[in-house]
Structure 1
Amino acid sequence: MQYHTLLHVISGYLYEHYNALATSSQIEKEHARLELSFSPEIMEEIPFDQLEQSIKKILAQPHNVYTKTISRAEAELKKAGVIKTVIHLLPASLNEIRIVQINDIDEQTCGGTHVNNTNEIKDFSIMKIQQKGPAKKRIKIQLLD
């Protein structure tokens, strides 16, 4: 739950500041990773070396995590900007969409488990940031004990 919520915080931050879109994620016992797609012309401007501190600054304040369910039609209307999932990739039979919102940090379709408040997320470290193509980065994180 901590990793999953932390990935939302990171992707929400990078979307808000750099219009990045999360393309995949994976959570393991010892770490998690997030892949993001950026506009190629902005990649040089992103201070990835300051990302960990920027996220820790956000997490210094508690943020509630909420869930709600909306209709598919409403999700399709909201998808520009607020909801970053490609709605047409969801099964056509799915008429109700679960939304996870972390205050003003992120709002996203998601069926995963999350903490109730970001203050439940342990300290973390960004282990590695890799280039995964001309406009993609992979961020690997680890929760600290």
Structure 2
Amino acid sequence: MTRLFCQDHPDTLRLDATALKTRPGAVLLSQHPFYPGGGGQLPDQGIVRWHGGEASVTGFSEEGGAIWALLADGIEVTGEVQAEVDPLFRQLMRELHTDLHVLNALVFRDFDGALVTGVQMNADGTARIDFDLPDADNDRLRALEPELNDVIAQDLAVQTHHLSLTAAHAEKGLLRSRSVTPPPSSEGLIRIIEIVGLDRQACGGTHLASTGASRPVKILKIENKGRYNRRMRIGLQGV
């Protein structure tokens, strides 16, 4: 997988670019700041501007390892453009994704290394994370909310590292999903998100620079989904 600009520079939301290839409703840019979606995180929203016009980005399409931006109204773009991410939406996704990592870390610690079976972040400021927890006490899971918010308030630094696939598999607890592992980069490296002093795990999404940049979180609901899955729903307070 090609290493994304947004993974290394999540605060850079605007880039000048050239339309390398184009067709009605889609453009392949020389560079862009967008996260195209994946790992339960929604794709960025944004705009592509050019001299005399602009179009909303409605999604992304990966074709032969290249990521095309899909444009509203079938617009066809040529020449020099400017690609810009919606800052509020990016912030929302960064908060939710970082908060899910905090919750994941607490569940992994307190429930015998329970693995993740599914994740989804939503545009309304809510998210859900599913764990392989057939015998968990829901009240114990709900009781994690104060510590979850305490970690957010501690403003722990969030750092990015890269490890070889071999090293990532060798480090216990680094790969938390039961079924999905972030694909290695073209250099054969796995991206690691570290919340300093709390957690390290493989992930390809965008995150905050520190936990304190998130709003407080509420555990909204805990559900049994099938024989093994326990679903925890969270929401950002004030959204």
Task: Please tell me the TM-score bracket, short chain as reference.
Answer: 0.7 to 0.9
User: Where do 1:111-122 residues align within 5 Å?
Assistant: 111-122=204-215
2:56 — aligned with what?
none
Rg: which structure is higher? 2
Shift of 1:21: 1.2
SS state at 2:206 partner: coil
For residue 56 of structure 1, the aligned residue among 149, 160, 171 is 149
User: Where do 1:9-20 residues align within 5 Å?
Assistant: 9-18=102-111, 19-20=113-114
Alignment RMSD, CA only? 2.3
Structure 1 residues not aligned, in runs of 5+:
none
Higher share in helix:
1
For the structure 1 residues 62 and 89, does the alpha-carbon distance in structure 2 shift closer, same or farther, using more than 3 Å as the test?
A: closer
1:83 — aligned with what?
175
How big is each residue's C-alpha offset from its partner over 1:12-51, in whole Å with a ceiling of 9 and x where there is no partner?
A: 110011122111111111111111112x45x148612312
Q: Is the 8 A contact 2:181 2:202 kept in 1?
A: no
Shift of 1:70: 1.0
SS state at 2:107 partner: helix
Identical columns (%): 30
Higher share in strand:
2
How big is each residue's C-alpha offset from its partner over 1:57-110, in whole Å with a ceiling of 9 and x where there is no partner?
A: 2223121100011111211211x3343246985558861111001013221111
Moved over 2 A (4+): 57-60, 80-94
User: Where do 1:1-145 residues align within 5 Å?
Assistant: 1-18=94-111, 19-30=113-124, 31-38=126-133, 40-41=134-135, 43-44=136-137, 47-78=140-171, 80-85=172-177, 89=181, 91=183, 95-145=188-238
Q: Which moved more, 1:54-63 or 1:95-104?
A: 54-63
Q: Which moved more, 1:117-126 or 1:131-140?
A: 131-140
TM-score by length of 2: 0.54
